[in-house]
Amino acid sequence: MEKDIQDKMKTDLNSLSKEETIEWVKGLGIEPYRAGQIRQWLFQKMATSFDEMTNISVTVREKLKEKAFITSIEKVKTLVSEDTTEKYLFRLHDGNLIESVLIPEKDHFTICISSQAGCAMGCTFCHTARQGFKRNLTAGEIIEQVIETQRGMTDPDKLSNIVLMGMGEPLANYDAVITAINNLIDQNTISFSHRKITLSTCGLVPNIIRLGKDSPVNLAVSLNAGDDETRNRIMPINKTYNLKSLISACKEFPLPSRKMITFEYILIKGVNDSPADALKVAKLLRGVRAKINLIPLNPGPDPTMCAPSWDEMVSFQEILAENQYTVIIRKSKGQDILAACGQLSGRELT
């Protein structure tokens, strides 16, 4: 408790942008070039204490200890799926819990990270929504999920892809998420490729447009219906930002050549999986440079909801393909440890 009070009076260096770090060190009378050294220790060398920063004088390090702290999150539990997907339960300094997922690919790893503790969006098929909203994560807490995961890997360089698809709505924590992304892609520090970072949103329209201006990362949109009536029922955000406004924002989103917006579509039996639904989606996305990921519903908070059969999913896919869309059926990983899409809850599991 005393440490929390002390930290509130100090600066969270992991949550500062490059420019903010420079201004902060200058304000302490420290040479501006030290900002770059500090950021390299935090994001590249994954330092957990100022004492590790051996190319910085003891005097400056003591000043850093007095005025700042390094973000830390505690890995409480690791669950490993039959398919080798790993889910991490992290405890934040105030006791809130979040989850991240390390997903094995053919020759690399993807990490799915959280941007909030809980979520306020209320999607009916999502475990996180049942937890309600607790708080936004700081930029440092967002980044630390990546760094803490790398610390535990035999070959950290194989972690090359990041998806902001974990707990929470990234665009509802806009400033912290943008700072985290910019720190992650800073070529002088942690140096992830912006081409390999994807942000997924349920459809906060004003911030979709902002994101396109502020960040070069990939955009994914959780669509899940081709008409407002269905989407209103399963995604309450649609009552504020309907499909017309959402698609209009997607058409405004700047895309380099050959880049597309990914539309995620969770298939729910008897809700949004009919041939008529597929045709609605095809019509809705006309004029958008879109690729579509079909995701069979993973077991969630509503036991009456389930995924359609494989044949029904293939039929849905074929209709979209006939309408000239790139569309895949995405196999869920980590379902047996509740690590798949919509299953993160931030609870201590056995």
Q: What is the pLDDT of residue 308?
A: 96
Q: What percent of the chain has pLDDT over 70?
A: 96
Q: Is the pLDDT of residue 129 over 90?
A: no
Q: What is the pLDDT of residue 7?
A: 65
Q: Is the pLDDT of residue 349 over 60?
A: no
Read off the pLDDT band of 345 (50, 70, 90). confident
Query: Tens digits of per-residue pLDDT, 13-38?
Result: 999 999 999 999 999 999 999 999 99
99 is catalytic: yes
Q: What is the pLDDT of residue 5?
A: 43
Give the Å distances, CA to CA, from 333 to 129, 199, 304, 317, 347. 20, 19, 22, 20, 19
CATH of span 74-337: 3.20.20.70
Q: Is the pLDDT of residue 346 over 90?
A: no
Q: Is the pLDDT of residue 56 over 80?
A: yes
Q: What is the pLDDT of residue 249?
A: 97
Query: Tens digits of per-residue pLDDT, 219-276?
Result: 999 999 999 999 999 999 999 999 999 999 999 999 988 899 999 999 999 999 999 9
Read off the pLDDT band of 299 (50, 70, 90). confident
Q: Is the pLDDT of residue 171 over 90?
A: yes
Q: What is the pLDDT of residue 302?
A: 80
Q: Where are the beta strands (DSSP E) in 230-339?
A: 261-267, 290-296, 326-329
Nearest to 9 by CA among 67, 92, 72: 67
Q: List b or e across 88-99, with b for residues whose CB sees 16 or more CB atoms inside 10 angstroms.
A: bbbbbbeebbbb
Q: Which CATH number fits domain 2-69: 1.10.150.530, 3.40.50.1100, 3.90.226.10, 3.40.470.10?
A: 1.10.150.530
Is the model more confident about 31 or about 7?
A: 31
Read off the pLDDT band of 347 (50, 70, 90). low
The one-letter code for the residue type at 262 is T
As annotated, the residues of the chain forming the CATH 1.10.150.530 domain(s) are: 2-69
Q: Is the pLDDT of residue 301 over 80?
A: no
Query: Tens digits of per-residue pLDDT, 94-124?
Result: 999 999 999 999 999 999 999 999 999 999 9
| pTM of the model as a whole | 0.94
Set 119, 123, 202, 341: catalytic member? 341
Q: What is the pLDDT of residue 333?
A: 84
Q: Is the pLDDT of residue 314 over 90?
A: yes
Residues 6+ apart with CB under 8 A from 107: 158
- Outline where 28-173 has alpha helix (H): 33-39, 58-67, 127-131, 139-151
Q: What is the pLDDT of residue 350?
A: 46
232: how many CB neighbours lie within 10 A of its CB? Answer: 15
Per-residue pLDDT, averaged over 133-138, amounts to 97
Nearest to 326 by CA among 293, 287, 296: 293
Q: Is the pLDDT of residue 2 over 60?
A: no
As annotated, the residues of the chain forming the CATH 3.20.20.70 domain(s) are: 74-337
Q: What is the pLDDT of residue 258?
A: 85
The one-letter code for the residue type at 269 is K
341 is catalytic: yes
Set 62, 74, 99, 123: catalytic member? 99
Q: What mean pLDDT value characterizes the chain? A: 93
Read off the pLDDT band of 180 (50, 70, 90). very high
| Cβ contact 247:284 at 8 Å | yes
Query: Tens digits of per-residue pLDDT, 201-233?
Result: 999 999 999 999 999 999 999 999 999 999 999
Read off the pLDDT band of 335 (50, 70, 90). confident
Per-residue pLDDT, averaged over 279-302, amounts to 93
